[in-house]
Structure 1
Amino acid sequence: MSATSTDPGHRRALICCLVGLVFSAIMAWQSEGGEGDYDDLEHYLRARWSFHDPRYLLDEWGRPGFTALFAVPAQLGWLAGRLLSGLFSSAAAYLAFACARRLGLGSAWLAAPLTLAQPLFFTLSFTTLTETPTAFYLIAALHLLLCGRATASAAVFSLLLVTRYEMAALLPIWAVALVRGGGRRGWALPVLLWAPLAHNVLAVVAGMPAPVRVFLAARGRIYAAGDPFAFVAHLTSAAGLVIAVLALGGCRGLLEFRRGWLVSASIFTYLAVQTVLHGHGLYGTGGYARFLVTVAPLLGVAATRGWTMLGRREPHGGAASARTILLALALVYLSYEAHRWLGSVFWDRATAGLYRATAVLVSVTYMTLALAPKLRATGPAVLEAIRCLAVLFITSRLVVFVEPLRAEGRHREILDALAYAQRHGMSDRRVHYAGPHIAAAMRTVLPQDRRWFREAVALAQTGDLVIWDEFYGKDVNIDVPLQRLWPNRLWQLRYVSWPRPGHWPSILLFERTD
């Protein structure tokens, strides 16, 4: 029997990952018909449609690093894709443990639950969004690098560049790590670019625009610009307050380990790049908190180090650890307050009050520990109480935040529009539309180039129907605003969806007339 199989830490990490996988599968099953985000359904459909049109495998928006991985499971249905996401999430959590052990961290097995317990990471484990496979690729590349397999690490890291483009920000860090690693690096450095090179060559051969254009043109702003505090504040949504503080504090502690800098540098570089992109509205980024799921396993590793720092009892090291954790808490809390003051977050008064009370409680406790070395050395019960409190907050945050996904109201509106067309004898008409939700409802496949919708509307014949979807009709890549159809004597408005509270009607059905 191997040492690994008898290691209690290994067994604990494995049990945590298996439990996480089971719960993720249950949530996926209960989320049938629901979606975590508009992109959730669209990524799944592009993977499914790749069997009808292989160009979807190279589709720039769909991300080849995701589409190729999910193409086969997607043929079995959305649930199969979500189960695969759960598998990758659990595998990423296990690799977080493996990396923590390679780095020499104490209680390394905690990296697995501290990864899975991050609310958004677990929520995305039962979606088909690109952040989950990205997180797996990143932690797998790190593990291979720590194992001395430089070329394999570079090959896996390259997949990040065709799964989420902002991961290119970590390319210099990986290059430095490969160079500093010494030994037999072989083709490691050039291999870092194999995936984007292959993507661009194959896209051009297939008659598609070269994806490299995405990097060469910082596309115009689509969403409102973010503030400088956004992504540090987003850590509280993505990872929860406690894990966010432990991770940021742990980043400082990781510098005590030989390759711990790689984890810390990757986390802070990613936060900085996302802040700049969102702050300047570059590449049309929405600045969502879920983007932090890509570094969730790294946060789990850093939080493991933060956890061991949380329980230090020696007079000198304990004081330094207490100050580090306290500074991390101040950074996260003040970023949240600034983010809230700028009107970017809208928590109710009770939630904000609980958040502040938690921050004050932990701050006072940790200030006491930092200023009272005797209490720290002789009062382990205080430290254990803090740890129990941390576990309570982590667990309660996960329980309150995570729930099965629900169907968007637009799905019902689309079904109502199709039912109207059938009731009025229009079921045999040609129907033009651009949204994937409509395609899913009609069980059809959209052409890979979405510009066809604009052309179809322009060339529509008498009797043709157009289902105008507010979300996709205004998309800059589709560009069919409502003004093109209404008011217009060539188009008769036949159906308007009942507006949801606080929304305009989002689904309109038009018929082409003479």
Structure 2
Amino acid sequence: FGPVVTILAIVGARGFLRNPAAKLVAASAGIYFLAETIVFRYGLFASGGYSRFLVAISPLVAILAVNGANRLLSPDLSIWRWASVGAAMAMALLWIAMERQLVIQHGVILDIAETHKAVWAIRITTIALAAIALVAFGLGATTSGRRVGRHLTPVALAVLLAMTLYAFYRPLPKPADATLIDDAISKLERLGYGDRPVVTAHPYVELRVGGAIPYDHPDTRRRIEQAEIGSLIVWESRLTGSEDHKLGIGEFLGSPAFREVLRTDPLPYQQTPYLYVFEKVASWSPRQVRVASPASQT
């Protein structure tokens, strides 16, 4: 939804909670958003928690946002003042969420280079909206002050919206991981591995090598065990190394059944290689694993 629409929706929700007939709109959007946040935070149901899952409540959020805009532009002094305070509180909530995300993701918001610039934009806007909320009560004392004050929060949100449009509303670039995967496959072809069977948990890798992961396939560990000698095993941390597949990189680096063929550069703002490619050179099962850390192989 973007920060501006989110702020307006939060401001608009307060007015809807006073209207029994409108509570369903606010409650439905809020409960869905909360549930999806919990799913994303704790990795429940094997879900990536992608933001596109929130498309289902976009119409409800739009209704809330329109109500929030009306409250910020209301001629009623009390409504305008508390809407300004609500906008500042909503912005503070977004700021706290962003800072927490930076801690969880070790300084990375998204694997897109430009988004790190949003950190300071969010911080500065939070301070600006907080200051506007503090002066809103004083500016409402006179007619001229109220006229100026009523434009402060909308102007601040308009600036934030312009920054959001500048950052995101452009032709979608290829994700950083897709670029690394494409480069890795091109290198494998040049090295003479282009016709080898590939075992991976990553759907895009399967797509690039012309395969498909069937819905009823065995788990990745079993597929690796059953793979013929000479097959390529593509490992990456997000899927193959996840709790769903439980295949640590040490199981491959420390096993005589695999020979490392290729490793890629890290994703932006990360330090470890994103992708490893191994050739299966002998039969393998978990009993044969000798665990080794990536650091011991460098």
- Give the structure-1-normalised TM-score: 0.44
- Using the TM superposition, give the Cα deviation of residue 286 of structure 1 relative to its aligned residue in structure 2, in angstroms: 6.0
- Residue 249 of structure 1 is matched in structure 2 by 11
- Residue 161 of structure 2 is matched in structure 1 by 394
Partner of 2:12, secondary structure, is helix
- Residue 83 of structure 2 is matched in structure 1 by 325
Change beyond 3 A, Cα 1:340–1:446: closer
Change beyond 3 A, Cα 1:431–1:358: same
Change beyond 3 A, Cα 1:297–1:414: same
Change beyond 3 A, Cα 1:319–1:468: same
- Residue 271 of structure 2 is matched in structure 1 by 503
- Residue 213 of structure 1 is matched in structure 2 by none
* CA–CA separation in structure 2 for the residues paired with 1:398 and 1:437: 28
Gap runs ≥5 in structure 2? 108-115, 283-298
Change beyond 3 A, Cα 1:287–1:358: farther
- Residue 25 of structure 1 is matched in structure 2 by none
* CA–CA separation in structure 1 for the residues paired with 2:189 and 2:122: 49
How many corresponding residue pairs?
Answer: 269
Q: How does 1:302-321 map to 2 (within 5 A)?
A: 302-313=64-75, 318-321=76-79
Alignment partner of 2:199 out of 420, 424, 432: 432
Preserved CA contact (<8 Å) 2:81 2:133: no
* CA–CA separation in structure 2 for the residues paired with 1:398 and 1:361: 24
Alignment partner of 2:236 out of 444, 469, 474: 469
Change beyond 3 A, Cα 1:287–1:326: farther
Change beyond 3 A, Cα 1:442–1:365: same
- Residue 182 of structure 1 is matched in structure 2 by none
* CA–CA separation in structure 1 for the residues paired with 2:131 and 2:163: 17
Change beyond 3 A, Cα 1:286–1:385: same
* CA–CA separation in structure 1 for the residues paired with 2:46 and 2:82: 35
Change beyond 3 A, Cα 1:308–1:468: closer
Gap runs ≥5 in structure 1? 1-117, 119-238
Deviation sequence 1:30-64 (CA, Å, 0-9, x none): xxxxxxxxxxxxxxxxxxxxxxxxxxxxxxxxxxx
- Residue 136 of structure 2 is matched in structure 1 by 366
- Using the TM superposition, give the Cα deviation of residue 285 of structure 1 relative to its aligned residue in structure 2, in angstroms: 6.0
- Residue 85 of structure 1 is matched in structure 2 by none
Question: CA RMSD of the aligned region, Å?
Answer: 3.6
- Which has more helix, going by share of residues? 1
Please tell me whether residue 483 in structure 1 is matched to residue 256 in structure 2.
no
Please tell me whether residue 441 in structure 1 is matched to residue 208 in structure 2.
yes
Alignment partner of 2:223 out of 424, 440, 456: 456
Deviation sequence 1:386-409 (CA, Å, 0-9, x none): 545544443343233433332234
* CA–CA separation in structure 1 for the residues paired with 2:188 and 2:42: 44
Preserved CA contact (<8 Å) 2:8 2:69: yes
* CA–CA separation in structure 2 for the residues paired with 1:413 and 1:386: 42
- Using the TM superposition, give the Cα deviation of residue 483 of structure 1 relative to its aligned residue in structure 2, in angstroms: 3.3
- Using the TM superposition, give the Cα deviation of residue 363 of structure 1 relative to its aligned residue in structure 2, in angstroms: 0.9
* CA–CA separation in structure 1 for the residues paired with 2:81 and 2:148: 19
Identity %: 21
Amino acid in the other structure paired with 1:508: Y
- Give the structure-2-normalised TM-score: 0.71
